[in-house]
Amino acid sequence: MIHAFIFFCLCFFHLVGVLVAESNVMKTVPVTVGDSVTLESIIDIQGYDQIEWRFGTMRIARIKEMNGIYSTDYSDDWKFIGRLQLDNHTGSLTIANIGHEHSGVYKQSIGTKDPAAIYNVTVYHHLPIPDISSYCTQNPLSKCSLLCSVLNVSHVTLSWYKGISVLSSISVSDLSISLSLPLEVGYQDNNTYSCVINNPISNQTKHISDLNWLRSDCNLCFDTTEAVIRLVVTALMGVAAVVAIVVLVYDIKSRTRVERTNISIRHR
Ligand SMILES: *[C@@H]1O[C@H](CO)[C@@H](O)[C@H](O)[C@H]1NC(C)=O
Ligand SMILES: *[C@@H]1O[C@H](CO)[C@@H](O)[C@H](O)[C@H]1NC(C)=O
């Protein structure tokens, strides 16, 4: 009986724990610099006399109810001046023209109780369009190497695609001055390659089919190979011709000698 009771209690507390944890789950909110974001209230604010929003430990906005009248006030911290809008019907907080300094954890709470809502706001840069350049490599045959690169990025992945399948990728989380990824293309490779940069919010693509100069630049790489191959083939053909002539001359000479010997034998 006592065991059953303990078991019941454990289940009950476990259940309570799950419920509390779920209402406190941190929600990830990715935003691009310059955009606005609204952090939704997850409680009905009617019936509470004070609702507040915190950024880290700093209180940045508050709704107070006094005799049925709701009023809002905001932090005068430089990061938030003129950017916050607290909806005093829903309790949702809007942050306008967001910057990197606004990345962090935001919590909504009722009075001194545990937070009702927790948001992890991460601010991302605008993505640049990748740049593609080409250079020739010899290993040992000529290949045309395409280099896809971007400058000053963080929290991005750069990838080469062949049609819709990923060939290779590279990721950075910290600020990277320059990020690049090479791709080797063979002679007369007419696949539709593209280089894509993406972060959790958006992506930018550069298709190599849009770059006419690239084909002629790559053809220059292959022109060199072709020239080398042609030179080698010509040289080999030359050597073969010389060998053939030598063999032929030797053959004729030795046959003439045999014939002469025969003639001299007959004369005797
Ligand atoms: C917030 O989200 C970012 C990106 O997903 C992550 O790197 C960071 O660790 C998170 N912060 C917290 C406090 O969980
Ligand atoms: C790029 O973003 C668009 C939506 O903006 C999405 O449809 C597409 O799948 C994304 N492409 C890649 C390669 O991530």
Q: Is the pLDDT score of 159 beyond 80? A: yes
Q: Alpha carbon 75 to chain centroid distance?
A: 37
Determine if residue 219 is left, alpha or beta; phi over 0 gives left, psi from -120 to 50 gives alpha, anything else beta: alpha
User: Residue 211 has what pLDDT?
Assistant: 74
Least confident of 150-154, 178-182, 227-231: 227-231
Share of the chain above pLDDT 90, in %: 47
Closest alpha carbon to 37 in 120, 110, 116: 120
| Percent helix / strand / coil, the chain, rounded to 5 | 30, 40, 30
- N-term to C-term CA, the chain: 138
Q: Mean pLDDT, to the nearest integer, of 159-182?
A: 94
Determine the average pLDDT of the residues in 49-57. 92
Place of tokens 């950075």: 172
Domain with CATH 2.60.40.10 in the chain: 25-124, 131-217
> Which residues are CB-neighbours of 265 under 8 A, at least 6 positions away?
none
Whether CATH 2.60.120.10 fits 25-124:
no
The CATH class of 131-217 is mainly beta
User: Which one-letter DSSP state was computed for residue 33?
Assistant: T
User: 120: Cβ below 6 Å to ligand 1?
Assistant: yes
For ligand 1, mutation pick of 24, 26, 120 (most atoms within 8 Å of CB): 120
User: What's the token pair of residue 173?
Assistant: 């989380």
Please state the atom number of ligand 1 nearest to the C-alpha of residue 120.
Answer: 1
> Tens digits of per-residue pLDDT, 104-127?
999 999 876 778 899 999 999 999
Scan for tokens 């963080």, then name that residue. 154
Separation of 205 CA from ligand 2 center, angstroms? 9
